[in-house]
Structure 1
Amino acid sequence: MKKQSGTLQRWDDARGFGFIVDRKGRDIFVHITAFGKIRSRPKDGDKVLFRVEPDAAKGVRAIDVERCWRPAHLLLPEFLLPLLVVAVFYGAFWLFFSKNALWFFLAPLLIFIAVLTFIMFALDKRAALNERQRVPENTLHFLSLAGGWPGALLARPLFRHKTRKQPFRTIFWLVVVINIALVGAFVFSFQAAPLRDWLDGQALSWLITLKEWGWIRGPV
Structure 2
Amino acid sequence: MKEFYNVLIYVGLFVNILGFILMYVDKQKAIKHQWRISENTLMLVAALFGSFGVYGGMLVFRHKTKHLKFKILVPILIIIHLVIINYTFSHKI
Structure 2 partner of 1:178: 80
Q: 2:46 aligns with which of 132, 137, 144?
A: 144
Percent identity over the alignment is 24
Structure 2 partner of 1:127: 29
Whether the aligned pair in 2 keeps the contact of 1:147 and 1:179 (CA below 8 Å) is yes
TM-score (normalizing by structure 1)? 0.38
Aligned residue runs from structure 1 range 198-217, under 5 A = none
Whether the aligned pair in 1 keeps the contact of 2:16 and 2:50 (CA below 8 Å) is yes
Q: Which has the higher strand share?
A: 1
Give the Cα–Cα distance (whole angstroms) in 2 for the partners of residues 185 and 140 of structure 1.
26
Structure 1 runs of 4+ off > 6 angstroms?
none
The answer to which structure, 1 or 2, has the higher relative contact order (CA under 8 A, 6+ apart) is 2
Structure 2 partner of 1:102: 4
Aligned residues between the structures? 93
Give the Cα–Cα distance (whole angstroms) in 2 for the partners of residues 126 and 111 of structure 1.
23
Unaligned runs of 5+ in 1: 1-98, 197-220
Aligned residue runs from structure 1 range 10-29, under 5 A = none
Structure 2 partner of 1:187: 89
Structure 2 partner of 1:118: 20
Give the Cα–Cα distance (whole angstroms) in 2 for the partners of residues 140 and 153 of structure 1.
10
Q: Which has the higher helix share?
A: 2
Q: CA deviation digits over 1:159-211, x for unaligned, max 9?
A: 1111222132112112222222222332345xxx5xx2xxxxxxxxxxxxxxx
